[in-house]
Amino acid sequence: MESTHSEAVRMLTRALDRVIHSSAHSAAWSVASDAASRCAEESAEGLDAAAALLESLDDGQRAAVLAGLTLRFHLNNKAEQLEIVRVNRERERLATAEAPRSESLDEAVRAMRQAGRSLDEVLDLLGRIDIMPTLTAHPTEARRRTVLRKQKEIAAHIDRLRDPALTPAEYDSEVGEIDRLVALLLATDDVRTERLQVLEEVRNGLYFLTGSIWQAVPGIYADLRRAIEREYGSCPDELPILLRYRSWIGGDRDGNSRVTPEVTRETIDLMRAEAIEMHTSELWALRNDLSLSDRRVPILPAFRSSIEADLERYPGLMGERSVRHLSHEPFRIKLHLMIAKLADEASGYTADGLVEDLGMLAAAIEHAGLGGVLASGPLADAKIRAKTFGLHLAALDIRQHSGRYETAVTQLLAAAHTHPDYASLGEAKRIELLALELAHPRPLVAPGTPIGSEATDALATLRTARAAIDRDPNAIGAMIISMTHEVSDMLELLVLMKEAGLYRVGQDSVESDADAVPLFETIDDLRRAPALMASMYTSSAYAPQLAARGRFQEIMLGYSDSNKDGGFLMANWSLQVAQAELGAAAAEHGVEQRFFHGRGGTVGRGGGRANRAILAAPAAARSPHLRMTEQGEVISFRYALPAIARRHLEQIIGAVLQAAPSGADQRPVAAPHVPTDSDSALLGGLAERAMARYRELVGMDGFWDWYAAATPIEHISGLPIASRPVSRGGGVVGLDNLRAIPWVFAWTQIRANLPGWFGIGTAFGEAIERDGAERLRGLYNAWPFFSALVDNAALELARTRITILRRYAALSPVGTPIADAIGGEYEAAQDTVLAITGRDTLIRSPVIAETIRQRNPYADTINLLQIGLLERWPDCPEADRGRLRRLLFLSINGIAAAMQSTG
């Protein structure tokens, strides 16, 4: 963005001011504005004065102020998205072949040509790329769909106001509509009254899949085709499909008892119904468009034959009157038949059939002499969407905790009289027993045999997946095992898959319908993962699964729990090392591998720019295969508007094009930095020191009592924004029990952002004191991994407000020592980052720095209101707790909007 004072920001701020000042809460809003002005003084005295002003408000006024401030941030966020779109369009307009827009597909394709890649080599790489963004229902999105829709409508009106041809009356009408929508948003509950049900989360995901994602995907291929034509002079009419979506919503069972087998089945049905509805709508648009007459243009004989074959094969799909009415319009007859086949489950129509029919339409248009005019545009878009979304929209993953699978297998083997207590066995005995069972085609138990609740539930879920695959092989993605610790964790899943019919043992080979994907989450598991996977690759028990899946293995890496376990620097370093070693292990054993990056929205959970992370991957981990989670508010930001979604996707695809091995030498265009052994040893030592400092903090006497009192974690656990609880096993006990998302969420609320930087002050500081800053500065300038790590930490430090943190810390009797420890580490981290980067400010971009500066006074105001509410909570009478908790929810939502981040 060129300026945070964009016209859109000013326009929406003025609209909000008009609405609020005409409301009954004008006086309260004036108090809040005065408080924000005092917060802007950046002094303890200013914060004290602001807090005193806010104390004068009653609870009704507090609710109105929180609603207004929250809406202010939501509108600013939307305006900034519009500014990103505007700036990107302007840069695209000014770009040339010699100076393409930064991080565009033009830039990526140009880099490939300049690196000597031929068109055939580019097309070969495109044919191997598969990128799978994966939507999850992690509890980090507080906004309701009705709010998102109104915000999208406001964006459309702002966009129309940029039209210089508007008359004054038309302009005033658009402004009036914006005011109307702002007033409606101010009167609409931002926080749900009840916790989301799983199918409501599914519908939230569908909002984006059938909205901005559906709209954005075809444009990516148009951009890529133009880029190839510009650099190479020609491009095939159709490019390989590079991008398909996955989802966890309705299939993620880890810690969420609400995701039942029935819910999973309903999710699959709902996704299919939405896909069919979207394709049907597109076919109706094509039907209205393709009014070609066989009295005007020649008709391809094969096309006419396909129509006759459909009419014969599916009698009754079209009424006789419709056929007569369209007797000279065969294209419309074909489209009517396609629509009818989609609507009739008994027709057996598949995604492949839809793609084939669309291809037949394109061939017939070409034969009619209109290919140059009609074969592109809506028809090309329909073909791309049919190949991308199929009749399933997004493949559903099934995720479960390894411990639950262990219990299920224990119950199953006991019921089969194979072993009375599988869970009591050591690892070697487990593998031996599981290998024997995987070698036999027969099921372990007869239908109807009592097998225990865990086994019943696991098998019901897997049988639901099998039924979905029988109907549509693309409907189910992978089987993901949380907290994978041993080889037996993988084999246990295969035994359950065999019992459910997803893994079938034949005379000479095995058929498997899904990938078994380990998820490595803790620091210890990341360290052990390369050896564990090497054992899997050489395991005779796992070999049939590997062969059945084409010697392809997906591995998921957990960014959230690794950070919670070891702190920011250790998590990042462990993930980097694990990728390199896992990549080397796969190459050694002839296995093609895909990493699935479980990234969250915040830096503390692996957030940051995805394209930069791709280019920072170690050499052995570079691959054309990529998956990454899209979670919570990240989905809302990256897919808020089709233009934003398109920009996000082009950055990812462009980075993969440059990072993946290609050409005759299979070397990437963007060569990876290969650290020396000395550099790796240095980073490893720094990570150990940072982790030790982090664990000192969370191990301090009274830390967890302080955390419970000084953060709104208790109220986050009750916030009705997701179906999944915030802790495993119930209750907020400590680091092992608390989930990573609420852990980070709470630190974000109190403006500490601790998971995104804590520990680097001590680690970097000691290294600089010992050896000077030059070596780390050299690594920062030469090593993309290290520069991304430092810049991400710098951003979190810039967003941190230690003065606000100290006011939260005072809510606990033991707050001062812990706040001092955090504050001291913050100062050290800030100093070391500046020394390493050589900058005089934390943030490289003056626009981002100015955005943070402008947001702080109003965000501080919400923090002060929240602190006052938290002070009242312990002694609040039971009769008043509902009202006070409602205010706390509003404050949590407001800070999330201000920070554009929850967990």
- Short-list 687, 740, 713, 727, CA closest to 560: 740
612's CB contacts (< 8 A; 6+ apart) are: 655, 784, 788
Cα 538 off chain centre by = 33
* DSSP bridge partners of 398: 479
Strands of 458-535 (E only): list them.
476-482, 503-505, 510-512, 515-520
- Distance between CA atoms of residues 109 and 224, nearest Å: 8
Place of tokens 């080599």: 121
- Distance between CA atoms of residues 224 and 654, nearest Å: 9
60 membership: H or E segment, kind and range: helix 59-94
- Distance between CA atoms of residues 108 and 100, nearest Å: 9
Over its C-alpha atoms, the chain yields an Rg (Å, rounded) of 29
- Short-list 680, 708, 669, 825, CA closest to 762: 825
Amino acid symbol at 150: K
In whole angstroms, how far apart are CA 579 and each of 107, 260, 611? Answer: 27, 33, 16
- Short-list 795, 787, 777, CA closest to 847: 795
- Distance between CA atoms of residues 889 and 903, nearest Å: 15
Query: Crossing angle, helix 487-500 and helix 453-471, to 10 degrees?
Result: 60
CB 677 within 8 A of CB 857: no
644's CB contacts (< 8 A; 6+ apart) are: 81, 84, 85, 212, 637, 638
679's CB contacts (< 8 A; 6+ apart) are: 779, 783
The single residue of 25, 401, 564, 597 carrying the catalytic annotation is 564
The single residue of 74, 138, 157, 336 carrying the catalytic annotation is 138
The verdict on whether 138 is a catalytic residue reads yes
The verdict on whether 564 is a catalytic residue reads yes
Query: Crossing angle, helix 846-872 and helix 881-899, to 10 degrees?
Result: 170
Number of alpha helices (DSSP H) and beta strands (DSSP E) in the chain: 39, 10
Cα 11 off chain centre by = 30
29's CB contacts (< 8 A; 6+ apart) are: 20, 21, 64, 65, 68
| DSSP type of residue 390 | T
Which residues are catalytic, by number?
A: 138, 564
